[in-house]
Amino acid sequence: MDTKDLKGFLYGWLGKQKIGAPVYNITTVTRGGTQRFKCELRVPGHSYVGMGNSLNKKDAGTNAAMDFCNYLVRQGLLKASEVPALEVFFGISSSYSPFLLRLIGSNLPQWERAPQSEHDKYVTQKAEEMAQSESVDLKAEIHGGWTMENSKKALNEFLQKMRQPPIAYNTQLKEANNCRTYVAEATVFVPQLRKQVSGRGQGSSKKVAESGCSMGIVRQLFHLGILAEYKGERKKTAAATLPEIPITVPAPLAERVKQYVESSGVQPVSVDPSDNITAESPKSLITNCKLDQFPDSQVMPAGNISWAPPMQNWNAWRASNIDEPPLAFMSLPEISAKLKQMEDSKALNQKMQETRQSLPVFQFKDEILRTIANNRVTLIKGETGCGKSTQVVQYIQESFILGGRGAEFNAFVSQPRRISAISLAERVAAERGEDLGESIGYGVRFDGVSPRPYGAVMFCTVGVLLRKMESGLRGISHIFIDEIHERDVNTDFVLIVLREMLREYKDLRVVLMSATIDTKMFIEFFGGCPVIEMEGRTFPVKHFFLEDVVTMLKYMPPPPEKKRKEDADVEVDEKDRNLNILTSDANPELKRAMSYISEKEIPLGVIEAILNDIAARGDPGSVLVFLPGWNEIMLVMNFLNGHSEFSNKSKYVILPLHSQLTGADQRMVFDHYGEGMRKIILSTNIAETSITIDDVVYVIDSCKAKERMYTSNNNMVHFATVWASRTNLAQRRGRAGRVRAGFAFHLCSKARFNALEEHRTAEILRTPLHEIALTIKLLRLGSVGDFLGKALEPPPYDMIVESEAVLQNMGALDKQLELTELGRILARLPIEPLLGKTIVMGVAFGIGTLMCDIASSSSFSSPFVPRERSHTRLNSAQRSYAGDRWSDHIALVAVNQAFQHASEMGSQAEQSLCSRVSLSPTILKMSAGAKYQLLDVLTNQCGFAAELFTDGASAQESDYDLLLSLLIAAYYPNICYYRGKRKVYTLEQASALVSKSSVLTPFQGDNFELPSPLIVFSEKLRTRVISCNQLSVISGIQLLMFGCRKVECVGENLVRLDDMITLKIDVSVAASIVALRPCIEAMLVRTCLNPESLMTATEQDRELCSLLRALSSREFYAGGGPMKDDLLTDAALVCIYHLWLMHCLKLSIRASLGPGRGDRGAGRGGRGWRGGSLGGSSFAGTDEMSTLLNMKNAFL
């Protein structure tokens, strides 16, 4: 039988077995500019998905059928001899070893399309209630109205009713600096459920933290059916008296809007005088009309990730059949023989091999090989520096290749960070005497090198491994998860998936590794598995605590400054006190010195004293300093660069190491700078695991880390500086002593060390679950609640319900809680789902590139670097990128475009721009990389044509107007009303401040005027105060179109938004504008269902885009006209000045390059040249100077 008949054979065999007909689903995939077809084959009763792809649909289907037949053979349901096509294709390789053909029985579970579970019905009901809700506090409605105000009392009453003692909160001060963050945890026993329910809350005070904790418990009790919905009177915040915002829409435009919505089938809400409308009895203007919606899908049963061992004609790294000879036609034994021949012929570096054999892990080589071969999952616990991260996978790889089975081996090795994946891949490739891309490769975000298809290892981040799972893990024999103690949300996710895979696929091998693993927890999780514990490191490391350092160096810091009143008045519990104050019978001088060192600050004096001592001793070796975050890195770097000793460039190289640095900048820490030069590396915890900077002898550890804290009930972010755990300190200590005996200086007291947590709290317990929920659905792993319930530490049930309800409300999940077409797109985009939805809307409305600019920029810190640490306000050159708009977002777009243009002109222009304006080239490069990844996913995985993404520099003014409108959809309910002196009111009617680093904030003082009091902002940040970051001024019309959940007529020509903002506008016009919402949603649905339709937009769609642009115009800012703040004129003049300087630089570069290089040709219309964001013509040709002068005169 020829392979072309394989589909017919499979169809007939399934029919004889009465299993049912196979279902082939073929999609188009573009990779590297080449179009391929991917086929997924599903069979009733089997969770395995056959996969095949090729350059045409027919071959893709045949390859999928072949893959599924192979699966049936592996499962023992079919013999290879019964499938002649397999015999012809595989030749002798179809005779698999007994190890691979071990039978598992024929009583496979029969999968059926189960009806929607009670949990799914319940979440759907909650989502519908939320959608119908008229309250701004949407998340309280999801949870039955239970809030921080009413939960604590309800919990106390519940405990009294159950005759249980009052709840005991474990409340601790989490912050390790001058800010205060308390975390409260508690557990209650629920007799009705016969189990415990735990809660966790955080806040700036113990009261807030404990209220948040009780709210978490009560919300879970509500969702579990123990407590009813809150029926009491809800606390209402008295609305601030805010001035009405007058808006006049020209009659022709208002008529166009009305005609459009009516022709689309939407009838605006009408208001009659007989309705007797008042502020106390308002009428809603929101229509319930739905023009189009995503079709509901059938409930998918919980499946598993498809897996198969390495097989012929399959590239595991590309998840693709191999088309090119000779590998396309070679059998596995033939490939294995070739790999062995290549391995035997290698000339390895003898010194490097001796180094490998000197590592402690080498003594355990035989035990490692034997244990992994005989067990599906193996735990390896070895001290830092023992060599496990580089050697264990090599032992397995070499045993397969030298044993003549190299083609049967392929391994993923996951790492928590990109620098770990890249550096380990480079090290292992060097040890094997190869270049990257031979038997060793790596995969990280924005970068990757694929190894050969067989006998290879891919080092990757956990996120990359998750994305690979969408196509299945065919062709992989081993999966290594390194540093599993990290417990980030992706690692916990992968562990659940692997446990489920191991239950179905008996031949898959999983290896878990860490220096500080909690072996008991993981043994229980995997139902029992062997543990290999390796003691010993290459060189010993002696560690010291703060009192040891003070004593050894005879260090006496200056007396601390007098406390500020707000700090002195804070009540401090015994367990929250300064543990640098010694209470034992210590030396009086030591006690005095320790009491002078604040735990809340980075002790620069102590760091200086340690570095001075290292320098005085003269022993060689680099210094690695662990700091919490970028600000602290810059603080210490500036201190050292201004130091009389350490600023000497002929003796010291000071290098930062941070996750947001480019790969090239990160790899500088591995370089050697010659004899007599000492490296001082200032790093976050990025250097804590799996990387070896081989010349580090000294580690100085601040014992602190940065942790992102998010509270969903108030939509607030807080970047807390927290104490690291004892596990973290052990990892940091292990970075020393790689080439000789090392020293670690932990800058905390012994008492503080004893008070540290053993392990950090798992990220899955303290992070939003929206993105993980999408991934669960994309991988067809079943119910989100059921899947996450299998985690090492399952997240609270209320967080799961909330994530599903929010996704359903935005259209990512349907009523069956299955992915819609929008949900599939969002699951593939590596950004927050709501922002991803706005990108899709941007593509539909013709501004996809600009939305990608915003999304990529929001993933990183601000590119604007303060010239002075103490002055965070933007300088004139930086704020000039906002041009004549009051928008941080547009300034971000403009500065990224300027940097892109400068980069195209060469490194000289790039460096000049960053130096002159004070920009971070690292952040701008990372932002550009993120943008290109978004564009790649949208075009190659989501079906959008590349022609839809035009050059952002050619955008028109109306594009930027529409961009600000879509930002409302992206960030709602992050809307505030400006009240003067940087003070704003948020939609929760709480006070906050405009960030000092915003273009809205003037050079001096806090008072400024805006063209409209309404502002959209990206995030609400808590430090010592609540501040709004990344702000843009918007109009009431834009808010009507894309924002408010509550729009009510409260009187003649008065429309109230979200119980706070009042517009003075013709009510019928406002109703027509609100009626555009169903039209916008309908276009989004059509776009997701058929992305290609955007290339041939209908007249109706073009009119909608035109109306949205017209209604987004700045003409509708209240009190429009000239800006009154002198800041604008200054900024405009500065922008013109810098444009002229850039023009001169461009002419200079053109002259140095000669004709034909560096010239961008004809001018562009729209927002002008990329050096700024002012409107008008672009600068090209002989009229550039006159254009500049005309612009200057216009502003003057």
Each residue's pLDDT tens digit, 1042-1093: 988 899 999 899 999 998 899 999 999 999 999 999 999 999 999 999 999 9
Helices (DSSP H) in 918-1019: which residue ranges?
921-940, 957-971
pLDDT of residue 1146: 45
> Which of 263, 287, 126, 130 lies closest to 1081 in space, CA to CA?
287
Query: What are the phi and psi torsion angles at 337 (to 5°)?
Result: -65, -40
What is the C-alpha to C-alpha distance for residues 784 and 119, in angstroms, rounded to an integer? 10
What is the C-alpha to C-alpha distance for residues 659 and 47, in angstroms, rounded to an integer? 38
pLDDT at 513 over 70: yes
pLDDT of residue 963: 96
For 397-408, b where at least 16 C-beta lie within 10 A, e where not — what string?
Answer: bbbbbeeebbbb
Of the segments 12-21, 365-374, 861-870, which one has the largest average pLDDT value? 365-374
What is the C-alpha to C-alpha distance for residues 511 and 368, in angstroms, rounded to an integer? 10
DSSP β-ladder status, 1061-1064 and 245-246: parallel
State the pLDDT confidence band at 235, using cuts at 50, 70 and 90.
Answer: low
DSSP string, 998-1057: STTS-SSSS----S-SEEEEEEEEESSSEEEEEEEEE-HHHHHHHT-S-EEEEETTEEEE
Contacts of 799 (CB under 8 A, 6+ apart): 712, 768, 769
For the chain, the maximum distance between any two Cα atoms, rounded to a whole number of angstroms, is 95
Q: How far is CA 64 from CA 472, 780, 946, in A?
A: 13, 19, 29
For 641-680, what is each residue's pLDDT tens digit?
Answer: 999 999 999 999 999 998 877 777 888 998 889 888 999 9
Query: pTM for the whole thing?
Result: 0.81
Q: Which of 99-108, 516-525, 535-544, 642-651 shows the lowest mean pLDDT across its residues?
A: 99-108
pLDDT of residue 410: 98
pLDDT at 836 over 90: yes
pLDDT of residue 2: 53
Contacts of 1102 (CB under 8 A, 6+ apart): none
3-state SS assignment for residue 520? helix
Amino acid at 67: D
Q: Which of 107-116, 398-407, 1173-1182, 1186-1195 shows the lowest mean pLDDT across its residues?
A: 1173-1182
Amino acid at 911: Q
pLDDT at 593 over 70: yes
> Which of 623, 619, 670, 671 lies closest to 646 in space, CA to CA?
623
DSSP string, 860-911: S--SBPPSBTTB-SPPHHHHGGGTTS-BHHHHHHHHHHHHHHHHHH-HHHHH
* Number of other CB atoms surrounding residue 673 within 10 Å: 14
For 299-358, what is each residue's pLDDT tens digit?
Answer: 778 889 999 999 999 999 999 999 888 999 999 999 999 999 999 998 888 888 998 998
- Mean of the per-residue pLDDT values of the chain: 83
- Cis peptide bond upstream of 973, omega within 30: yes
For 160-215, what is each residue's pLDDT tens digit?
Answer: 999 898 899 998 888 767 677 888 999 999 999 899 999 998 888 888 889 999 99
Q: How far is CA 162 from CA 151, 157, 213, 231, in A?
A: 16, 9, 19, 21
* pLDDT mean over 215-231: 92
For 385-399, what is each residue's pLDDT tens digit?
Answer: 888 999 999 999 999
What is the C-alpha to C-alpha distance for residues 217 and 229, in angstroms, rounded to an integer? 14
Contacts of 95 (CB under 8 A, 6+ apart): 80
pLDDT of residue 508: 97
**Position with higher pLDDT, 1133 vs 1100:** 1100
State the pLDDT confidence band at 1150, using cuts at 50, 70 and 90.
Answer: very low
pLDDT of residue 156: 92
Dihedral over alpha carbons 705, 711, 715, 720 (to 10 degrees): -20
